[in-house]
A and B are shown apart, each in its own frame.
Chain A
């Protein structure tokens, strides 16, 4: 019900924001003509409108709105799907459901075409005349057999009886479906079992298969009857009576066919192949799938009548299916029903949110790691990571050796060593942890080192002919290579854990930062440098006080681009290898076709990207307000 309310609210907001936008346009006193950029300023209500459009589309196409407003519709449509599925074997032989031709018409056209080709082949061969005559006689007989199957006068009366029987049964079903009482009062036990089923979307089966409503029971019962009729119809073969005699004669001729002996293996192979083709065509004719068209007319009419009844009985379900569950339909499988189309691959917002909260719970997490939480880490571990071990080597003295009693006494040098390796007891502090945090940290570290090394080198390259020439080949050779092409190599060298990914991101950010800092440095106005010179600035001061601040706009733009490219590269790198990170989560979810988690990771990535960009926009606004106003 919450979903329903939100959906309704979204539609109200959507319409409201459009109405407000039109109101603003009408009342605005603006002389802006088309093309004036001022007309694009403002307009938060269009942001609201855009967001609610996305949400409405999501609610609608994921069938979340349908689930909220018509909770039983899926169960009923499942019974309809069963009914549709039951009719398929029979209906597919008629020009119904998008077929243009009768099955028999199609088969006849095909067999005649194949036999024409076979006849042409036969003429072109160098078979002996006797062989040619025998083979063409068989082809002629097969043509006759086909014509006989299409002739109602030659048909076995028994088959007509079967066909009439089928028509009667379809008509009876039609009458029963149209009556209100069908299929009689519900079996209380079965109904109780049906009502006890988990609801739509509550299980992995997705849609409760047992009929829960009267309408559902009607289609469920009708589907069983229709399935029997369908199966019986399919078993009818037009190979009895006179046709049986013809076919038996034909079969005897084919079996008696003597292909003779020939010294040339190619000729032998061609003969064998021709006999094989003839046998295949004969088997299809013997199958008896071709009936005289007049015999089928009654069944077709009965089926069309049944369609009408089905439409009537479906009633509102048709409308719900078309409007509340767009982009797909519910299909019945052997044992269960499932959503197909957008209902399948577009998870419902409420389910996605529930999945998010389930995974965001630090006790749950995904593959043993939380999404975004903290963990207690002993300080000693961090000290051991930061303080280099060789510090202990600088301490005077010798590392202790074990004595003859087997004990080792620590001295000062070994204590420093223990400290540097983090081998001591300490209290723990909370540090951020989880898939999302791991991804963010990798991006930030790659970016940090990229800026730290890239900006100075870029400025150097912008100011020195030597640096520009010397480093240009290196950067221009590795930069155009897509980062992902580097990934296999880098991940092999530096490992699939953080090191490799951070180095990969460093490479990405470094090239971008070098180029943007270089552009910034080269773009400094000469008069500003001259001014700084005549104000007594030293070269170092000029770089620090004039060229660096002057390059800030380019550098910040470079950072903004780097963040975007780093995100893209990181997610792909995490998909390649690793055990944590958003890309890892998405990749595992992909392997398990877990659409909710896939979409959740996509949304998290989108929101994080937006967050980073907003932060960068804010930083740009704060640090370089002069840009474009100089």
Chain B
């Protein structure tokens, strides 16, 4: 069952200086229900633009994007988003952050309280309900952001470098948590990252994007996410084909960066 259909997506930003920047060029792909897609690429390749278009924050210059049976025209509750820095509302407690979406819908308060308990337990924050969010560590803040997004039960979860600002240890724990949630909820997830290892570990499918103009460069289908549900993530990283894939993608991105540098040097 097709969940997300992207066809010939083009995004051109008009700069005040007059130069137009093509952030996305002819991006087309289809995502099945329950797939976990990782998007990787050097900076400036349009990863975040793609995600913002899927979320409905930006309108594409041309092309169509369909989610389920309807065209995406603006932000909606059916697509939840997790941001790099959490983007928590720091004037609210953990509880009030998590139930924000339900409160906006004016849902039944008792039902809401029960759901908040549930989700805090899933992300491992039981007992932190009354804590102000500014007192939490970065990892805990991302857990709150996850719970806040998931409590609304969206069909599609969009993650914009959600683990980028975390230290290595916390990051690994969070990667397991993302896999666990993916497995348990069966949601379609798009995760953007700049870490090759993370992309390989989490992505059932993996898009490597190229910059100038932003486009899909190569697509992989990977077994590691399935394995990660059962095995220790560090064991997976030791596998030969994991390392092979990692080196291949790293070289690819490295070459892209070189190319950009060369371009800007000749331009100069």
Contact = CB atoms under 8 A, between A and B. Distances in A.
Interface of A: 525, 527-528, 530-538, 541, 545-546, 549-550, 552, 624-626, 629-630
B55 A549 contact: no
B104 A541 contact: yes
B87 A546 contact: no
Given A534-B81, A535-B152, A630-B134, A527 B87 contact: yes
B77 A550 contact: no
Contact of A530 (B83, B105, B132, B148): B83
B133 to A, nearest CB: 8
Contact of A552 (B81, B91, B132, B133): B91
B228 interface: no
B77 A531 contact: no
Contacts of A533: 56-57, 75
A531 B135 CA distance: 20
A433 B247 CA distance: 82
Contacts of B76: 534, 536
Contacts of A550: 89, 91
B213 interface: no
Given A525-B87, A531-B87, A538 B104 contact: yes
Contacts of B85: 527
Interface of B: 52, 55-57, 75-77, 79-81, 83-85, 87, 89-92, 100-101, 104-105, 132-135, 148-149, 152, 154, 158
Nearest to A525: B87
Contacts of A537: 100-101, 104
Given A533-B75, A535-B77, A535-B101, A528 B89 contact: yes
B79 to A, nearest CB: 6
Chain A CB count within 10 A is highest, among B81, B148, B149, for B81
Question: Which are the 4 A-B pairs with shortest beta-carbon distances?
Answer: A535-B101, A527-B87, A533-B75, A536-B77
Contacts of A531: 81, 83, 87, 89, 148
Contacts of A546: 89
B83 A535 contact: no
Contact of B104 (A525, A535, A624, A630): A535
Given A527-B85, A536-B101, 14 more contacts: A527-B84, A530-B52, A531-B83, A533-B56, A534-B76, A534-B77, A534-B81, A535-B80, A535-B100, A535-B152, A537-B104, A549-B89, A549-B92, A624-B91
Contact of B152 (A527, A536, A538, A626): A536
A527 B57 CA distance: 10
Nearest to B148: A535
A535 B81 CA distance: 8
A536 B84 CA distance: 20
B231 to A, nearest CB: 33
A525 B90 CA distance: 12
B135 to A, nearest CB: 8
A536 B148 CA distance: 12
